[in-house]
Structure 1
Amino acid sequence: MKNLLNFTKKAAAVVLGVACFAQVAHADALADIKARKKVLIAIDLGAPPFGRTNAKLEPEGSDVETAKVLAKDMGVELEIVQVTGPNRIPFLMTGKADMVIASFSITPERQKVVAFTQPYGASQFVVAAPKSESIKSLNDLTGKRVAVVRGNMQDSLLTPLAPKGTNIVRFDDDATVTAAIVSGQVDAFCTPNSLASAVAKQNPSKNLETKFAIKDIPYAIGIRKNEPALEKWLNDWIAVNVKNGKLADIYQRNVGSPMPDLSQFAAK
């Protein structure tokens, strides 16, 4: 009886293992998207110039344009799933989105949870503040209130580098960070240079300027792990549109500066 019980347990474990393997092996988001005839793409519409809404409340920005071209080339309808920086991964992992196109920077921590394509763009992260603020380097942040998006790339970059005495103030998204700097609630903010430039342009009376750069970080399309067909399709699509200059053109028109050289991020 004991041997039979052990055999039954082992058999059940094998069946469960086979079932789990089959589930992973048959996971095919690309096929699901094409069968649905619609792709659900998570985009942060509160992070200009990557994502925003215009005066007609229509989505626009470099990530929006990228998503539109991708959906057209895939031959499916686009549905934008609006997200913020902190909820991009939860929306992806719970199936509310098929992929994330939201200036989604590649980090080792995120790679433990999601799969990234090859980079389709890059951001230079900077510290920006009003001209009246005497800030030239990290050391000058002591005693300053510096805004970041909670748990986002700027938080991860600045927090370990900031000198003792820096008051890092965390907000839920780029929109609330922007409101904080414009209202004077904080002295400076850490953000992609493109967003710093956009905020300065939209609020000329605040005399905002970039004080110093921290680091260039590539961003890519995020998908769930174990989706080889979708990952291959996206990487092939990125390679084609980097080569033909379409992604660089989208970046230039929206960000206002040339696309960074993505070859610097190629695997060594």
Structure 2
Amino acid sequence: MNRRMFVAAAGFALLAAAAVPALADSLDAIKASKTLRIALDLGSPPFGMNDASMQPTGSDVESAKLLAADLGYTLDLVQVTSPNRVPFLLTGKTDLVMASFSISEERKKVIDFSDPYGVIQIVIAAPKSVTIKDLKDVVGKRLGTTRGSTNDKEVTAQAQGAEMVRYDDDATLITALISGQVNIMASSPQTMASVNARRPNDPLEVKLVVKTNPYAIGIRKGDDALRAVVNEWVHANLRNGKLDAIYKKYNGVGLPAEMLN
């Protein structure tokens, strides 16, 4: 770890340690305000995006609305991007994060997660004309990805020698792939589908599945009461099929059967 990375990591850890005691009673504050602040990434279709009327939509948006309604609170949608999901949570700008938030050991060091309510694959995709059979085939190639995402971190770690071209959100990455700024992506099948809808003459196809990650709701460490309430909601809505229906509506496929039991 170089000095800059060490200093950043140390600062991040201190921020986490300072934030938790002061914000540990989030559930009481939510009950008092009757408002649930949920961070959502509207630049990450089909999880979060704006519709033709510029209204928030997507599977995470609909899930967040369901969560707030089931708990009887007003939803306060806090817009985030991949890089600032954790900082917004740690500094108290939001109570929860629902933004295709993949569970990772690195993130678990500073925040907690609910039980999973969805899954997302990390894939490398490119046009049919590009041959990629394994990670060795991306050495020296430019791969577009979303900065700070698990896609970025996982592929950067595994695809040594590839040139990672990082964009601030999925929407910007999609635009870059449509315009030809980059021609290979390290992202999700959902991002690929969004690209192909606007790139029909030269669509991308999945070349490699790098990893399949469950995603969950991000919660501050110490917010155990809030986490218990959220977990109860997750399991109830997996059993009754509502979360599966939302996922299927926006992703085209249902959740894995083992998640619904």
Say whether the fold is shared (TM-score over 0.5): yes
Alignment equivalent of 2:79, drawn from 73, 76, 82: 82
Please state whether the residue corresponding to 2:157 is helix, strand or coil: coil
1:187-228: per-residue Cα shift (whole Å, max 9, x none)? 201111122122212332332222221111010000111011
Q: Pairwise mapping of residues 1-268 of structure 1 onto structure 2 (< 5 A)?
A: 24=21, 27-164=24-161, 166-263=162-259
Distance in 2 of aligned mates of 1:117 and 1:174 = 24
**TM-score, normalised relative to structure 1:** 0.85
Cα distance, 1:141 vs. partner? 0.8
Q: Closer, same or farther in 2 for the Cα pair 1:257/1:213, shift >3 Å?
A: same
**TM-score, normalised relative to structure 2:** 0.88
Cα distance, 1:25 vs. partner? 9.6
Distance in 1 of aligned mates of 2:98 and 2:31 = 18
Contact 2:238 2:259 in 1 (8 A): no
Distance in 2 of aligned mates of 1:92 and 1:175 = 22
Identity %: 48
Distance in 1 of aligned mates of 2:41 and 2:34 = 23
Distance in 1 of aligned mates of 2:256 and 2:136 = 27
Please state whether the residue corresponding to 1:249 is helix, strand or coil: helix
Cα distance, 1:263 vs. partner? 4.4
Cα distance, 1:132 vs. partner? 2.0
Contact 1:182 1:206 in 2 (8 A): no
1:15-49: per-residue Cα shift (whole Å, max 9, x none)? xxxxx9xx949932112112111111000001000
Moved over 6 A (4+): none
Partner of 1:12: none
Contact 1:122 1:262 in 2 (8 A): no
Partner of 2:14: none
Letter of the structure 2 residue corresponding to residue 30 of structure 1: L
Letter of the structure 1 residue corresponding to residue 84 of structure 2: N
1:39-96: per-residue Cα shift (whole Å, max 9, x none)? 1100000100000001100000000000000000110111111110001111111111
> CA RMSD for the aligned pairs?
2.0
Aligned pair count reads: 243
Letter of the structure 2 residue corresponding to residue 225 of structure 1: K
Partner of 1:17: none
Distance in 1 of aligned mates of 2:197 and 2:256 = 21
Q: Please identify, of 109-118 and 195-204, the stretch whose mean Cα deviation from structure 2 is larger.
A: 195-204
Q: Closer, same or farther in 2 for the Cα pair 1:225/1:26, shift >3 Å?
A: closer
